[in-house]
């Protein structure tokens, strides 16, 4: 097993953990963190799988670099919306589902 | 009940994904060789920068557009709440920030320049500059930003506009953002300079436009 494949496997595990968090957590800040965990997992899979057979591949690396910056922008927007929700309603949680 | 179902589904998913990755054959398309083969024509000698700003520069063009869009959305969300006055931190922290800021500016310029031939480039340089601005704000040396005036607006859009004008001017070359070979290096440096300025302002703005006293609105 190459280290690239190991990165990809760890990325898959991170993605799954983040996915569980996004679905199950009602607190918005923790949900945003879980969403970022999903993104980091996807980035690890991209970079790891691309370099499992030898040296690094610059194309996925450049894509991940682009993705990181976009993820930062999305996180900032999510935080701004969360903060607005807190100002307007005083809550940082989403309402529970009926079967929650 | 829902909790158990979700965790079980995630476990099944990750097991299937890991099994698939372990069974994965050699990649059908390997782009390392073509990237290396055209390196000499790309205007830069580092492969990631060549991909970002030459082979797939439309990715970067759209990326700066997405960043600008996120910032505009944030400006729409925060509204006209007054800027909270900076709270002075401990003098030791302030002195450290004063010492660190010039170094961070030097590091940013170096990263921008180094991007042509080793890891570095506009994004890293912009992130370091933005971090310097956030640092100054957190220790109370710089105020948060209110609604941007003309100069700040120009700075925020400069990178995107320079990139877009370049793309329009180069359309007669035949393909989107196909640089003339002799000028590729200079054009990439010009684009990267604009990107660094705008990225630094946008990334800093993502933080500094949000540092308002919402309770007072």
Measured between CB atoms, does A63 come within 8 Å of chain B? yes
B203 closest CA partner among B112, B128, B94: B128
Angle at B138 between CA B134 and CA B139, to 5 degrees: 125
Name the residue in chain B with its Cα closest to that of A57. B32
**Residue from the list B6, B206, B210 with its beta carbon closest to the beta carbon of A20:** B6
pLDDT value of position B66 = 93
Residue A95: both structure tokens together: 């309402």
| Burial class of B105 by CB neighbour count within 10 A (0 to 12, 13 to 18, 19+) | middle
Residue B20: both structure tokens together: 């698939």
Fold type of domain A3-89: Helix Hairpins (1.10.287)
Residue B132 pLDDT greater than 50, yes or no: yes
pLDDT value of position A71 = 93
Residue A98 pLDDT greater than 60, yes or no: no
Distance CA B37, CA B40 (A): 7
> What distances in angstroms separate CA A53 from CA A56, B27, B28, B29, B194, one per listed residue?
9, 9, 12, 12, 37
> Is residue A20 within 8 Å of residue B10, measured between CB atoms?
yes
Neighbours of B7 (CB within 10 A): 15
> What distances in angstroms separate CA A83 from CA A87, B100, B204, one per listed residue?
6, 30, 18
Q: Which residue has the higher pLDDT, B48 or B65?
A: B65
Q: How many pairs of residues across A and B have Cβ atoms under 8 Å apart?
A: 115
pTM greater than 0.90 (yes/no): no
Q: Which pLDDT band holds residue B217 (cuts at 50, 70, 90)?
A: very low
> Is residue A19 within 8 Å of residue A38, measured between CB atoms?
yes
**Best residue in A59, A74, A84 to probe B by mutation, most B CBs within 10 Å?**
A59
Residue B97 pLDDT greater than 60, yes or no: yes
For B175, the domain range is: 2-216
Q: Which residue has the higher pLDDT, B199 or B48?
A: B199
B79 closest CA partner among A69, A88, A74, A89: A88
- Contact between B35 and A17 using a beta-carbon 8 Å cutoff: no
Phi, psi of A25 (to 5 degrees): -90, 130
Measured between CB atoms, does A66 come within 8 Å of chain B? yes
Query: How far does B99 lie from chain A, in Å, by closest CA?
Result: 27
Query: Which of A49-58, A69-78, B101-110, B201-210 has the weakest average pLDDT?
Result: A49-58
In tens, the pLDDT along B141-181 reads: 888 888 888 898 999 999 999 999 988 888 887 777 788 87
Name the residue in chain B with its Cα closest to that of A58. B48
**Residue from the list B2, B21, B73 with its beta carbon closest to the beta carbon of A77:** B73
| Burial class of B5 by CB neighbour count within 10 A (0 to 12, 13 to 18, 19+) | exposed
Query: Which of B161-165, B206-210, B212-216 has the weakest average pLDDT?
Result: B212-216
- Contact between A81 and B77 using a beta-carbon 8 Å cutoff: yes
Query: How far does A16 lie from chain B, in Å, by closest CA?
Result: 6
> What distances in angstroms separate CA B204 from CA A35, B81, B91, B154, B214, one per listed residue?
22, 18, 23, 15, 19
Residue A28 pLDDT greater than 50, yes or no: yes
Residue B104 pLDDT greater than 90, yes or no: yes
Residues of B in contact with A9 (CB under 8 A): 18, 21-22
Q: What percent of chain B has pLDDT above 70?
A: 98
Residue B59: both structure tokens together: 């990715």
Average pLDDT, chain B: 86
- Contact between B21 and A15 using a beta-carbon 8 Å cutoff: no
In tens, the pLDDT along A34-86 reads: 999 999 999 999 998 888 777 778 888 888 989 998 999 999 999 999 988 88
Q: How many domains does chain B have?
A: 1
Distance CA B109, CA B104 (A): 9
Distance CA B97, CA B136 (A): 6
Residue extents of the structural domains in chain A: 3-89
- Contact between A80 and B77 using a beta-carbon 8 Å cutoff: yes
Name the residue in chain B with its Cα closest to that of A99. B2
Name the residue in chain B with its Cα closest to that of A50. B27
Measured between CB atoms, does B77 come within 8 Å of chain A? yes
Measured between CB atoms, does A98 come within 8 Å of chain B? no
Residue B91: both structure tokens together: 């003098």
Taking the alpha carbons of A15, A17, A20, A22 in that order, is the dihedral positive or negative? negative
pLDDT value of position B215 = 55
pLDDT value of position B127 = 93
Measured between CB atoms, does B107 come within 8 Å of chain A? no
Residue B120: both structure tokens together: 């570095």
**Residue from the list B18, B52, B203 with its beta carbon closest to the beta carbon of A12:** B18
pLDDT value of position B34 = 83
Residue B184 pLDDT greater than 80, yes or no: yes
How remote is the C-alpha of B24 from its chain's centroid?
33
């Amino acid at each position: 097993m190459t280290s690239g494949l190991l990165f990809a496997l760890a990325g898959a595990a991170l993605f799954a953990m983040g996915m569980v968090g996004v679905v199950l957590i009602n607190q918005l800040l923790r949900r945003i963190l879980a969403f970022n965990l999903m993104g980091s997992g996807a980035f690890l899979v991209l970079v790891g799988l691309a370099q499992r057979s030898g040296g690094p591949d610059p194309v996925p690396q450049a894509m991940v670099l682009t993705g990181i910056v976009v993820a930062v922008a999305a996180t900032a927007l999510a935080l701004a919306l969360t903060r607005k929700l807190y100002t307007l309603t005083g809550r940082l949680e989403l309402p529970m589902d009926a079967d929650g | 009940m829902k909790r158990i179902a979700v965790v079980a589904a995630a476990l099944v998913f990750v097991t299937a994904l890991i099994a698939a990755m372990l069974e994965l054959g050699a990649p059908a398309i390997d782009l390392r060789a073509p990237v290396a083969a055209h390196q000499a024509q790309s205007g830069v000698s580092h492969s990631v920068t060549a991909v970002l700003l030459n082979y797939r520069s439309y990715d970067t063009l759209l990326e700066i557009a997405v960043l600008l869009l996120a910032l505009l959305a944030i400006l729409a969300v925060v509204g006209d709440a007054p800027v909270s006055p900076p709270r002075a931190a401990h003098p030791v922290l302030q002195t450290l920030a004063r010492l660190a800021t010039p170094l961070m500016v030097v590091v940013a310029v170096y990263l921008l320049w180094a991007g042509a031939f080793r890891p570095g480039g506009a994004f890293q340089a912009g992130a370091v500059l933005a971090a310097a601005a956030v640092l100054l704000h957190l220790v109370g040396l710089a105020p948060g930003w209110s609604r941007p005036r003309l100069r700040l607006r120009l700075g925020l859009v400069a990178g995107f506009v320079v990139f877009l004008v370049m793309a329009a001017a180069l359309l007669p070359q035949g393909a989107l953002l196909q640089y003339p070979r002799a000028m590729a290096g200079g054009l990439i440096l010009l684009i990267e300079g604009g990107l660094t300025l705008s990225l630094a302002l946008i990334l800093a703005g993502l933080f500094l436009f949000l540092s308002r006293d919402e309770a007072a609105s």
